[in-house]
Chain A
Amino acid sequence: MINLQEVIETNKMIEQENLDVRTITMGINLLDCADKDLSVTCEKIYTKITTLARDLVKTGEEISKEFGIPIVNKRISITPISLVGSACCCTPGDYVQIAMTLDKAAKEVGVNFLGGYSAIVSKGMTKSDELLIRSIPMAMARTERICSSINVGSTKTGINMDAVRLMGDIIKQTAEETKDVDSLGCAKLVVLCNAPDDNPFMAGAFHGVSEADAIINVGVSGPGVVKYALEQIPDANFELLCETIKRTAFKITRVGQLVAQEASRRLGVPFGIIDLSLAPTPAIGDSVADILKCIGVEHPGAPGTTAALALLNDQVKKGGVMASSYVGGLSGAFIPVSEDQGMIDAVEAGALTIEKLEAMTCVCSVGLDMIAIPGDTPATTIAGIIADESAIGMVNQKTTAVRIIPVVGKTVGDTVEFGGLLGYAPIMPVNTFSSQRFVDRGGRIPAPIHSFKN
């Protein structure tokens, strides 16, 4: 039988160390909503989402109350819209109509984000994919809760450099279209390599074509809990350090597994995966950077940071895998800048640069995330950054991503405020040497060889 110490430990994690379930995300297949008539497609999409996800928010709140665990976000991911809209969208404006329908559906069911305004163009772009991509700036300006993601490469296909080049322009245009709100549109737009089909986290969530009609995916969190556990063993060697992270990750993930199974049962929708993630928020103590500091670097960015992050990421997975029946999504430690107070402090102290963040993305989940850069950064430089990050993902067979915000009218020394979970960020300097000749070449970078690993 459960004893008092165990109860106190769990409740302390929740009340003092920010343990929560970060998101319950319902994946919804919209392929059966495709029609050659745009208004019919929109109507079918609206009906399907508002029917399937009708009780999502209410169920999340009930589970939260009954188990006493906060469930921060209830969200929806959908089939990449470039597939659903290909028969009826002839202009970028047509796609914006779908975006507005999705936004309306998200508001109707009460979710705070809906992801899947997406296209998978890792090898080539169809006409429909390109129209969707070109509609992104307008769609981000006219909607509130829609997240967009574009997959531009994979280990099996190589990198679609035409798409990479185009995304440099699209990110700049999105920043311009949403300049009244500090280019917030770019915080809801991510460029990926090796994007998973079952990711519950925004902005990269979409419901892949390999998935069932509807599915429940859950993202766990709890950097504060890991930090607290490590604070109790300040001088431990690596063996004890790793063991402690693993054990803590196990406990955190078990809560996610429980919530996922309950949500799946109550909603009558199959359980998909648990995303084993350490996802920070701007709240004090809810920081991945603070864990790195506990492991022993003065600030993230100091020599040793990449190794510290690598071990953290690996132990989180090792502990989490045993705690959950199915694991997927992005699974690992997230290192966004604006959403993590410790990362912001490191940038402000001069310890952390984009180049070091890039190195860190080689060993952890995802990539360059929520980084504000000067508004006058050229589109070709942004494309260069995307190409670098995609190359890391392609060669290392992992997911990588770029979510950067070229904030219109701001430069190094300024700060940008996104609010809520998106936090605030100092503008980071970008290498000013040109990438133009490289990204303007056109075509694809071939898939890498899978032998001679050196």
Chain B
Amino acid sequence: MTRAIITVVGKDTVGIIAKVCTYLADNQINILDISQTIVQEYFNMMMIVDLTKSVKAFNQLSDELATLGEDTGVQVKCQLEDIFDKMHRI
């Protein structure tokens, strides 16, 4: 299973999660976990997703998510989970 972490950071607005989730559903990407918090008035959301059945390649997903974020005025990043696992787990 290829897992990635999608982070959404920005000013809180209506429908951010809906837009990202719709995009993921359209591309056969399963969401395994969602959590969110507000840090210094900024909306921080993280999703752990499974890319195994994704209909698009990683690069395209990452670029399209970033564009979707820009259109909504938030920053959307998609990174493979390994970088977080390696840094925070022994």
- Chain A positions within 8 Å of B, measured between CB atoms, are 1-4, 6-11, 62, 65-69, 251, 254-255, 257-258
Contact = CB atoms under 8 A, between A and B. Distances in A.
A7 B79 CA distance: 10
Contacts of B44: 4, 8
A255 B87 contact: yes
A6 B88 contact: yes
Interface residues of B, number: 26
Among B77, B86, B88, residue most surrounded by chain A Cβ atoms (within 10 Å) = B86
Given A8-B7, A67-B80, 14 more contacts: A2-B85, A2-B88, A2-B89, A4-B46, A6-B88, A7-B46, A7-B84, A8-B39, A10-B87, A67-B82, A68-B79, A251-B87, A251-B88, A258-B83
Contacts of B59: 62, 65
Nearest to A63: B80
Contact of B83 (A1, A3, A8, A10): A10
Contact of A68 (B33, B77, B85): B77
A4 to B, nearest CB: 5
Contacts of A254: 86-87
- Nearest 4 pairs between A and B by C-beta? A68-B79, A67-B83, A6-B88, A254-B86
B76 to A, nearest CB: 12
Interface of A is mostly: helix
8 contacts: A2-B48, A4-B37, A7-B46, A7-B84, A62-B59, A68-B83, A254-B87, A255-B83
Contacts of B89: 2
A257 B5 contact: no
B79 A66 contact: yes
B70 interface: no
A66 B79 CA distance: 5
B12 interface: no
Interface string B47-90: 01000000000110010000000000000011111111111110
Contacts of A67: 79-80, 82-83
A257 B79 contact: no
A4 B83 contact: no
Contacts of A6: 84, 87-88
A67 B85 CA distance: 11
B28 interface: no
A373 B32 CA distance: 59
Nearest to B88: A6
A435 to B, nearest CB: 48
B50 to A, nearest CB: 13
Given A4-B44, A65-B62, A66-B58, A258 B86 contact: yes
A258 B39 CA distance: 29
B27 interface: no
A65 to B, nearest CB: 6
Interface centre among B44, B82, B83 (most CB of A within 10 A): B83
B44 to A, nearest CB: 6
B4 to A, nearest CB: 9
B35 interface: yes
Contacts of A251: 87-88
A69 B7 CA distance: 14
Nearest to B45: A4
Contact of B36 (A4, A69, A255, A258): A4
Nearest to B4: A66
Nearest to A68: B79
A251 B83 CA distance: 10
B34 to A, nearest CB: 10
A322 to B, nearest CB: 8
A2 B46 CA distance: 10
Contacts of B7: 7-8, 11
A257 B77 contact: no
Given A7-B5, A8-B39, A66-B80, A1 B86 contact: no
A69 B83 contact: yes
Interface in B1-59: 5, 7, 33, 35-37, 39, 44, 46, 48, 58-59
